[in-house]
Amino acid sequence: MGKVTFAPRFSLNYQTPWNEGNIGQHFATQITAGANRYYGRNIFAYAISGQLESLRRDVSRSEISKSFEEILAEGRVCANRNDDNCISTIGVNTTKFSQLKVPYADELMIGISQRIYDMNLGIKYIYRAGRDEIRRSSRSVSNLPTDSNYSSNYYIYTNEGISTTNVITLTLENTHPLKILGVKNHIFFAFDWTNVNRNYTDYSDTLTNQELANQWISWNGQIIRYADKPAENFNRPYTLRLNTTHTFNVGKTKWLLNNFFRYRSSYKAMASTLATSTVATRPPDKIDLDGHGIPETPVDTFRPLDIKGAFTWDMRLGFEVDMHKGNTMYMNVDIYNVLDAKNLAIASAAYSTTAGTTATPVYEVGRQFWLQLGYRY
């Protein structure tokens, strides 16, 4: 973007006075705080997306003896739908990329860590404000002129996205390995509460005419103005994490077994039904706009969609061998989603210039196996 960004970081670590005394051996306290700015670095992806469609060519041929490459070299455009051995469609870019501000997030953090004998208890709070984040808008909504190099109602990217994130994390872990039958065990437990509010779902979320007209809608049974519609929130508010690491030696070989268990809570997404929808199984709600006391005017309707909680178990089994004078050969086998759980990840959103969002189920990746071999010297 030709812009120079400045991202300062500040960190404060305070050790309490009693940490150096007898009390500190078992009850040391540490307070941390920070203030940081982070800039995004993936704007190149938006520039690329704006040029992909023009590379597309749809070719029609009458027989297999005629090669597609030959038809493309001739460059003849089809006169009608029944024409053959010609280029039926030449792609036109649907996204017009222009100069953007670089998105950034300002973050404040404060936390406290308390040792209790061989355990460490910690709590941390993070506040993050995202600004100049990227959204999409259409030419018609942004009242832009047509451009012959792009489709009639092309899209543009804007910096109108904003977000606010609050995170509270509670952790508990042992500071020294727990030795049982020659096995060293380390256990880490964490609980996260996360709240995210933003005026978009993802970078492809498009500004709509609804936002400009501020029309009446039905939101979970309540009749409100579009501007009062809460932001779509696909964030799972609660997460439980348990990580166990076990190491032991057999001769010159050091073995490791790691298990990572994670449960993410359920949440509600919103699926929409347009006012013009004629689907009987999910008709839009109606309101009384003429004041006659009879709800007769359909409005765009948003209803809750329950997304179940998600549990995953990841595992790593590995070993390393001391070959000679610090040279080490190692191998790790990772199994992600050991139980092959079918977890619903998110309700992705599809937008248009006149509609809201329609939820579509998307599932997380199933069981995977990864093998890593390495040699350190």
Rounded Cα distance between 134 and 46, Å, is 9
Structural tokens at position 127: 């506040």
Region of 352 (left: φ > 0; alpha: ψ -120 to 50; beta: rest) is beta
Does 264 have pLDDT greater than 50? yes
Contact 286, 367 (CB under 8 A): no
Residue of higher predicted confidence among 368 and 232: 368
Rounded Cα distance between 219 and 327, Å, is 63
Rounded Cα distance between 358 and 270, Å, is 8
**What is the percent of the chain where pLDDT is above 90?**
43
Residue of higher predicted confidence among 141 and 280: 141
52 Cβ neighbours under 8 A, 6+ residues apart: 93
Contact 310, 341 (CB under 8 A): yes
Does 274 have pLDDT greater than 80? no
Handedness of CA 217, 222, 228, 230 (dihedral sign): negative
Confidence of residue 185 (pLDDT cuts 50, 70, 90): very high
Of the candidates 75, 106, 77, which has an alpha carbon nearest to the alpha carbon of residue 89?
77
Whole-prediction pTM: 0.74
- Which pLDDT score, from 0 to 100, does residue 375 have? 95
pLDDT (tens digit per residue) in 323-356: 888 799 999 999 999 999 999 876 554 434 344 4
What does the pLDDT average to over 71-94? 88
Residue 255, judged by CB atoms within 10 A of its CB (0-12, 13-18, 19+), counts as middle
In the block, which residue shows the tokens 């609050």? 166
Does 122 have pLDDT greater than 60? yes
- Which pLDDT score, from 0 to 100, does residue 91 have? 81
Of the candidates 64, 169, 150, which has an alpha carbon nearest to the alpha carbon of residue 111?
169
Residue of higher predicted confidence among 349 and 32: 32
Write the DSSP assignment of 286-339 as a string of letters: EE-SSSSS---EE--EEEEEEE--EEEEEEEEEEEEEEETTEEEEEEEEEESTT
Rounded Cα distance between 174 and 181, Å, is 18
Instruction: Give a three-class secondary structure readout of 167-219.
Output: EEEEEEEECCCEEECCEEEEEEEEEEEEEEEECCCCCCCEECHHHHHCCEEEE
Average predicted confidence (pLDDT) for the chain:
85
- Which pLDDT score, from 0 to 100, does residue 158 have? 84
Residue of higher predicted confidence among 199 and 185: 185
- Which pLDDT score, from 0 to 100, does residue 354 have? 44
- Which pLDDT score, from 0 to 100, does residue 220 have? 82
Does 301 have pLDDT greater than 80? yes
Residue of higher predicted confidence among 37 and 24: 37
